[in-house]
């Protein structure tokens, strides 16, 4: 083999390896500022005090996800100002950023998609206008702060739409689609290269995914990525192995049916689960195996949480204040 053949072979090997390097491994760290302001400290695998982003990065993570609430009840945490602070930390750490708009003053999930109080008296056209202007103005402020998000999530776990009752999908799929379109169009105006995510819970539930995405498509919506939550231990009537297998089947169906890229934007396991590392590693492996290379990555939801607001599905040991083995799954 001469030097030119070797060079060509090296180029081909690099080309083949490049997509692997782009695989997203990250975490939603939205509680971090509040935890630190409450006196929480964090230690690395060796028992030394260290900042969370450095610890996550040492476990192979390259991205963070940050939720945005319109007017949080405490006036600050998860507000745009709080999000910008954390986004700057991520940028300084060399990590990519996902912005997750909840379009609510508090948690938005399949059972709670309530409008911000300040928007409660708007008619539907006014609500669409507010979604557009709020999304645009928020992203303009993020841009002015020097942050360029790689992904923008329009709504959080929108299994039955968002901004209820106007945008409840089971009552009016068109309204949900038009509200989504308002946010999506505003996001693309500010950050045309950002990938727009529609996010649903319960990755194993193909019927709900088909219903929502058929409804969006039939009402003129466009998106770049289908995001899913996957909490394998919480799925009823399935083992965790059955749940992750059903999730993969669903993700492959989303690729085939809509041509979308897919991502697990939330995964979590009880911090003291003996199989935590195995479960998270299995989810990562399955997303890597999605057809056509369209599985973008996996993000752990609030791994830094320990003894915090009753949440026990983080990846930190409350006794040692160190990461659990679950984070080692991201080292692959």
The more confidently predicted of residues 19 and 1 is 1
pLDDT at 19 over 90: no
pLDDT at 13 over 50: no
* pLDDT band (50, 70, 90) for residue 22: confident
As its CATH architecture, domain 24-331 has Alpha-Beta Barrel (3.20)
**Summary mean pLDDT of the chain:** 94
pLDDT value of position 10: 36
What tens digit of pLDDT does each residue of 289-311 get? 999 999 999 999 999 999 999 99
Asked whether the whole model's pTM tops 0.75, one would answer yes
Q: What is the mean pLDDT of residues 312-319?
A: 98
pLDDT value of position 176: 98
What tens digit of pLDDT does each residue of 48-98 get? 999 999 999 999 999 999 999 999 999 999 999 999 999 999 999 999 999
What tens digit of pLDDT does each residue of 241-254 get? 999 999 999 999 99
Q: Domain limits of the chain?
A: 24-331
Is 157 tagged catalytic?
yes
* pLDDT band (50, 70, 90) for residue 231: very high
The more confidently predicted of residues 12 and 168 is 168
Selected catalytic residue, list 261, 266, 302, 304 = 266
Please report, rounded to a whole number, the percentage of residues in the chain having pLDDT higher than 70: 94
Please report, rounded to a whole number, the percentage of residues in the chain having pLDDT higher than 90: 93
- 195 strand-pairing partners: 151
pLDDT value of position 161: 98
* pLDDT band (50, 70, 90) for residue 332: confident
pLDDT at 165 over 90: yes
pLDDT value of position 100: 99
Selected catalytic residue, list 157, 261, 302, 304 = 157
pLDDT value of position 113: 98
């Amino acid at each position: 083999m001469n030097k030119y053949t070797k060079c060509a072979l090296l180029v081909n090997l690099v080309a083949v390896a490049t997509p692997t390097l782009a695989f997203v491994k990250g975490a939603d760290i939205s509680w971090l500022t509040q935890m630190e302001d409450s006196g929480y400290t964090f230690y690395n695998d060796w028992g030394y005090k260290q900042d969370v982003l450095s610890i996550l990065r040492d476990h192979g993570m390259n991205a963070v996800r940050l939720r945005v609430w319109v007017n949080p009840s405490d006036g600050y945490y998860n507000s745009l100002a709080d999000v910008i602070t954390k986004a700057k930390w991520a940028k300084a750490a060399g990590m990519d950023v996902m912005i997750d708009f909840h379009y609510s003053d508090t948690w938005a999930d399949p059972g709670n998609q309530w409008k911000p109080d300040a928007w409660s008296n708007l008619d539907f056209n006014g609500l669409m206008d507010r979604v557009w202007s709020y999304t645009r103005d928020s992203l303009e402020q993020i841009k002015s702060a020097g942050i360029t998000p790689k992904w923008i999530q329009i709504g959080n776990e929108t299994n039955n739409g968002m901004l209820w009752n106007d945008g409840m999908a089971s009552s009016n799929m068109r309204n949900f689609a038009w509200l989504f379109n308002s946010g999506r169009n505003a996001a693309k105006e500010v950050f045309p290269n950002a990938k727009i995510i529609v996010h649903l819970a319960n990755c194993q539930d193909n019927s709900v995914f088909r219903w929502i995405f058929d409804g969006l498509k039939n009402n003129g919506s466009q998106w770049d990525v289908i995001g899913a939550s996957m909490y394998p231990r919480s799925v009823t009537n399935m083992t965790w192995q059955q749940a992750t297998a059903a999730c993969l089947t669903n993700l492959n169906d989303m690729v085939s049916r809509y041509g979308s890229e897919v991502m697990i934007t939330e995964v979590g396991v009880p911090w003291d689960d003996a199989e935590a590392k195995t479960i998270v590693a299995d989810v990562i492996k399955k997303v890597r195996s999605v057809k056509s290379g369209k599985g973008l990555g996996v993000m752990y939801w609030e791994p830094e949480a320990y003894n915090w607001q009753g949440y026990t599905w983080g990846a930190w040991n409350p006794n040692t204040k160190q990461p659990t083995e679950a984070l080692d799954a991201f080292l692959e």
